[in-house]
């Protein structure tokens, strides 16, 4: 029995005793009312002004209030910090506008349903945690507008955040959603980490202290309350065919971040900007992860609230590491010899996969695609292959362009790939989050599953919880990754800070194909240390982790670092945040089976850092053999130590400027 359950039972028993006393004093009706609400996990007033629902651990509370002067409704989010209540978000504006009528003002409260405990467990094949729990207190609040049309608001309070969604419960009808009025009021002096929206979601994050910069902002967005007591991350989840992706916009009111539909120009103006819905209908979940930085980083809330897996048999879904030739040679797949060299790299390092990126259909230099596939299989490696998403929504003409575009194309192509022994497809250049493009993403996933082919997306949206619904969706780009060392000189200087922001933002919400861990240089150099690069193998989570460097970049490593990259997993049983601040530094520990791995980086441009590394995340009573691979005297040198540690141990690790470290902890039997 959990502490929260025991507390709830004690409260309920006290309420029963108190109710009997008052009944004797002839106040039976009043106290029965109080008793009813004492025994529920949330508190609701009779007129739902306000409606309150609390998380199972009572640390997070969301309230529904009526804005009487406007005739609308808002949510307010609170967080309990060391016994005091912190106002996290003072106002979340609610409402929708449909092509037939409005559901934002003059909404009449009808009822609030009985509080329901959502309590389910599921297994994640890849991600930051394998054993996941979807547990929350939920209420459904019912409204009607002046024309008597109904709208429900479904609200959940989790131990690590709150979620809400809209519902039209009527059984029939097709309408266009003209606008969604969900908007988050963020007071100035709130520190925020935001990225300017673009359809490829490959921007940098910038730290801001107010809303003076007005723009379209991408998900997820990270905030720290003015009193520094609470952090929260705003996102959305369980996006399906019935809606479009949204972004945040603070044009007009600088402190009001409103959900906004895609722009007309996205996807070369193909597709409608406003979604068409069929009743009954539920919107995607609006997600706010709330708490400490550890709560943010360790959360699986985006996946938790998303639909369960649609794939019954999943033994063919195999996370793993892949060699990737594009970073070091943009035209690498055009060369049969290069493809073979990267297959040899994967075989030598024990990585299961190698990726054939663009231009595989133009391969020469000693062999063609069939020759390359034969060689890859002969060395015990599994091939993955790239495709252009095709169609008029993308300006990129790289071939093959149209083989993923229609159901007939896909069924024919996937049948060929299955016969050729290809295990996964990378589909690129979507360039839109309009409803038609959301349908296209899901079409690819559903058709690929029929042939047991894994999928990952590039030039794409950021995760919306689909990895739970479609577990063969291994990763997404949706990030400014190492590829940007090929796009210009800017990433050389911005990467260290950027890398220390991503574990608190983009990688929180799902797998991230950053293509990390490079020791040589691409078209533009990097200034991160070797220790920093090695640490990214732990810090950055991706269901298929593409190591981007050329073969000699790995072959020339010292044995300890080389063995670390052979052994480090990329799908995890648990994740722990140990230390750090966005853009400054970060240390994470991740577990696979009984073995723990730790990665830490320093983003400071000029200053070395000494960090105390505590091992209190280890089980008590056990001894572990620590292999610590840290920065040496200069950027391209490692310093390796071997120690025996336990739960009470603590060591100091030095990180150079732009430096880092990686470590493994293996139990001593």
Q: Is 594 helix (H, G, I), strand (E, B) or coil?
A: coil
pLDDT, residue 38, reads 36
| Statement: residue 40 has pLDDT above 80 | no
Q: Band of the pLDDT at 495, cuts 50, 70, 90?
A: very high
- With 0-12 / 13-18 / 19 or more C-beta atoms within 10 angstroms meaning exposed / middle / buried, residue 207 is middle
Q: Which two tokens stand for residue 220?
A: 């997820």
Within 13 A of 103's CA, how many CA atoms are on the CB side?
25
Tell me how crowded residue 39 is: count the other CB atoms within 10 A of its CB.
17
Q: Say which residues have a Cβ less than 8 Å from residue 325's Cβ, sequence separation at least 6.
A: 332, 333, 338, 339, 341, 342, 355, 357, 550
Whole-angstrom distance, CA of residue 255 vs CA of residue 387:
41
In angstroms, what CA-CA distances link 449 with 313, 424, 454, 616?
10, 10, 7, 41
Q: Which residues contact 394 (CB under 8 A, 6 or more apart)?
A: 267, 268, 388, 429, 430, 431, 459
Q: What is the DSSP pairing of strand 102-103 with strand 108-112?
A: unpaired
349 φ, ψ to 5°?
Answer: -90, -5
Q: Identify whether the C-beta of residue 211 lies closer than 8 Å to the C-beta of residue 191.
A: no
- Is the confidence at residue 160, as pLDDT, over 70? yes
The reported pLDDT for the residue numbered 49 is: 54
Best CA proximity match to 611, nearest among 586, 644, 590: 586
Kindly tell me if the per-residue pLDDT of 46 is higher than 50. Answer: no
Indicate the SS3 state at residue 237: strand
Q: Are strands 216-217 and 609-614 parallel, antiparallel or unpaired?
A: unpaired
Omega of the bond prior to 50 within 30 degrees of 0, cis?
yes
For the residues of 408-474, what is the DSSP string, one character each?
HHHHHHHHHHHHHT--EEEEE-----SHHHHHHHHHHHHHHHHTT-EEEESS-PPP-SHHHHSTTEE
Percent over 90 (pLDDT), the chain = 91
What digits encode the pLDDT tens for the residues 310-345?
999 999 999 999 999 999 999 999 999 999 999 999
Compute the average pLDDT of residues 64-83.
Answer: 89
Per-residue pLDDT at 1 exceeds 60: no
CB atoms within 10 A of CB 326: 22
CB 460 within 8 A of CB 443: no
Q: Which fold has domain 500-513+525-669?
A: TIM Barrel (3.20.20)
Q: How confident is the model at residue 5 (pLDDT cuts 50, 70, 90)?
A: very low
End-to-end CA distance of the chain: 31
Neighbours of 556 (CB within 10 A): 12
- Average pLDDT for 616-622: 96
> Rounded mean pLDDT of the chain?
93
Strands (E), 582-647: 585-592, 595-602, 609-614, 624-631, 638-645
Confidence band, pLDDT 50/70/90 cuts, at residue 7: very low
pLDDT at 31 (0 to 100):
34
pTM score: 0.92
Whose tokens are 């995760």? That residue is 463
- pLDDT digit string, tens, across residues 342-399: 999 999 999 999 999 999 999 999 999 999 999 999 999 999 999 999 999 999 999 9
Peptide bond into 220 cis (omega under 30): yes
| The dihedral sign for the CA sequence 523, 525, 526, 531 | positive
Domain 307-478 part of CATH 3.20.20.70:
yes
Residues 351, 315: Cα–Cα separation, whole Å? 18
Give, in order, the Cα–Cα distances in Å from 284 to each of 165, 167, 197, 259, 432.
6, 10, 19, 12, 17
- Cβ atoms of 444 and 455 within 8 Å: the answer is yes
CA 100 to CA 111: how far, in whole Å? 24
Question: CA-to-CA distance for 409 and 186, rounded, in angstroms?
Answer: 46
Mean pLDDT of 204-209: 97
What is the bridge-based pairing of β-strands 51-54 and 60-67? Answer: antiparallel
- pLDDT tens, 425-460? 999 999 999 999 999 999 999 999 999 999 999 999
CATH classification number, 40-304, choose in 3.40.50.970, 1.10.10.10, 1.10.10.1200, 2.70.98.10: 2.70.98.10
**Mean pLDDT computed over 100-118:** 95
Residue 78 tokens read as 């609170």
Q: Strand 382-388 vs strand 424-428: parallel, antiparallel, or unpaired?
A: parallel
Query: What is the strand order of the sheet 585-592 is part of?
Result: 574-581, 585-592, 595-602, 660-667, 624-631, 638-645
Q: What is the mean pLDDT of residues 203-217?
A: 97
Q: Tokens representing 357?
A: 């990126």
User: In Å, what is the CA distance from 509 to each residue of 83, 181, 293, 467, 648?
Assistant: 29, 23, 14, 10, 32
pLDDT band at 82 (very low <50, low <70, confident <90, very high): confident
Give the number of C-alpha atoms closer than 13 A to the C-alpha of residue 645, restricted to the C-beta side. 24
Q: What's the confidence (pLDDT) of residue 18?
A: 36
Instruction: Find where tokens 């922001």 sit.
Output: 501
Beta strands in 169-249 (DSSP E): 174-180, 183-185, 191-195, 205-208, 216-217, 221-224, 231-237, 247-249
Q: Does the N-terminal peptide bond of residue 280 adopt cis geometry, omega within 30 degrees of 0?
A: yes
Mean pLDDT of the 655-665 span:
98
- 160, 532, 544, 548, 561 from 517: Cα distances, Å: 31, 8, 14, 7, 11
Residue 9 has pLDDT above 70, yes or no: no
> In the chain, where are the structural domains located?
1-39, 40-304, 307-478, 500-513+525-669
pLDDT per residue as tens digits for the range 250-268: 998 999 999 999 999 999 9
How far is residue 561's CA from residue 86's CA, in Å, rounded to a whole number? Answer: 45
Nearest to 536 by CA among 493, 570, 572, 485: 570
Mean pLDDT for the stretch of residues 138-164: 97
Q: Please provide residue 460's backbone torsions phi and psi, each rounded to the nearest 5 degrees.
A: -140, 180
């Amino acid at each position: 029995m959990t502490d929260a359950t025991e507390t709830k039972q004690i409260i309920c028993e006290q309420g029963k005793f108190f109710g009997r006393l008052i009944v004797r004093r002839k106040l039976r009706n009043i106290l029965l009312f109080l008793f009813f609400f004492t025994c529920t996990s949330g508190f609701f007033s009779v007129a739902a002004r306000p409606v309150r629902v609390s998380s199972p651990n009572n640390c997070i509370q969301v309230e529904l209030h009526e804005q009487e002067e406007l005739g609308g409704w808002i949510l307010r989010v609170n967080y309990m910090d060391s016994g005091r209540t912190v106002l996290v978000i003072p106002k979340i504006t609610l409402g929708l506008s449909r092509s037939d009528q409005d559901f934002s003002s003059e909404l009449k409260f009808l009822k609030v349903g009985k509080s329901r405990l959502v309590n389910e467990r599921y297994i994640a094949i890849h991600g930051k945690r394998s054993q996941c729990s979807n547990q929350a207190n939920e209420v459904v609040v019912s409204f009607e507008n002046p024309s008597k049309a109904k709208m429900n608001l479904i609200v959940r309070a989790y131990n690590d955040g709150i979620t809400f969604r809209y519902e039209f419960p009527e059984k029939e009808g097709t309408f266009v959603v003209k606008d969604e009025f969900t908007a988050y009021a963020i007071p100035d002096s709130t520190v925020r980490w935001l990225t300017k929206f673009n359809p490829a979601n490959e921007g940098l994050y910038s730290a801001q202290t107010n809303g003076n910069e007005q723009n379209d902002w991408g998900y997820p967005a990270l905030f720290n309350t003015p009193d520094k007591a609470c952090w929260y991350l705003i996102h959305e989840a369980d996006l399906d065919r019935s809606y479009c992706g949204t972004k945040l916009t603070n044009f007009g009111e600088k402190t009001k971040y409103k959900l906004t539909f895609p722009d007309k120009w996205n996807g070369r103006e193909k597709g409608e900007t406003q979604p068409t819905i069929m009743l009954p209908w539920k919107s995607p979940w609006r997600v706010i992860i709330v708490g400490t930085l550890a709560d943010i980083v360790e959360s699986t809330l985006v996946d938790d609230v998303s639909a369960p897996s649609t794939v019954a048999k999943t033994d063919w879904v195999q996370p793993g590491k892949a060699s990737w030739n594009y970073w070091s040679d943009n035209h690498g797949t055009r060369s049969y010899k290069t493809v073979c060299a990267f297959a040899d790299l994967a075989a030598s390092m024990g990585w299961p996969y190698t990726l054939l990126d663009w231009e595989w259909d133009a391969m020469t230099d000693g062999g063609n695609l069939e020759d390359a596939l034969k060689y890859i299989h002969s060395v015990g490696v599994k091939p993955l292959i790239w495709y252009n998403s095709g169609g008029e929504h993308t300006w990129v003409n790289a071939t093959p362009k149209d083989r993923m575009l229609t159901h007939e194309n896909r069924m024919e192509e996937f049948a060929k790939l299955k016969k050729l022994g290809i295990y996964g497809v990378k589909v690129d250049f979507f360039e839109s989050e309009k409803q038609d493009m959301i349908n296209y993403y899901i079409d690819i996933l559903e058709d690929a599953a029929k042939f047991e082919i894994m999928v990952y997306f590039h030039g794409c949206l950021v995760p919306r919880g689909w990895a739970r619904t479609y577990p063969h969706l291994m990763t997404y780009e949706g990030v400014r990754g190492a590829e940007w060392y090929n796009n210009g000189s800017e990433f050389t200087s911005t990467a260290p800070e950027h890398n220390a922001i991503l574990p608190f933002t983009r990688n929180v919400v799902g797998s991230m194909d950053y293509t990390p861990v490079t020791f040589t240089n691409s078209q533009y150099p990097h200034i991160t240390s070797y220790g920093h690069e090695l640490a990214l193998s732990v810090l950055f989570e991706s269901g298929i982790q593409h190591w981007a460097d050329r073969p000699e970049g790995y072959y020339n490593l010292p044995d300890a670092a080389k063995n670390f990259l052979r052994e480090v997993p990329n799908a995890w049983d648990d994740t722990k945040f140990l230390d750090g601040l966005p853009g400054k530094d970060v240390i994470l520990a991740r577990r696979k089976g009984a073995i723990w791995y730790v990665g830490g980086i320093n983003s400071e441009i000029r200053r070395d850092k000494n960090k105390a590394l505590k091992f209190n995340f280890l089980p008590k009573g056990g001894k572990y053999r620590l292999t610590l691979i840290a920065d040496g005297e200069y950027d391209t040198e490692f310093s390796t130590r071997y120690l025996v540690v336990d739960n009470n141990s603590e060591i100091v690790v030095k990180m150079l400027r732009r430096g880092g470290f990686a470590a493994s902890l293996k139990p001593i039997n």
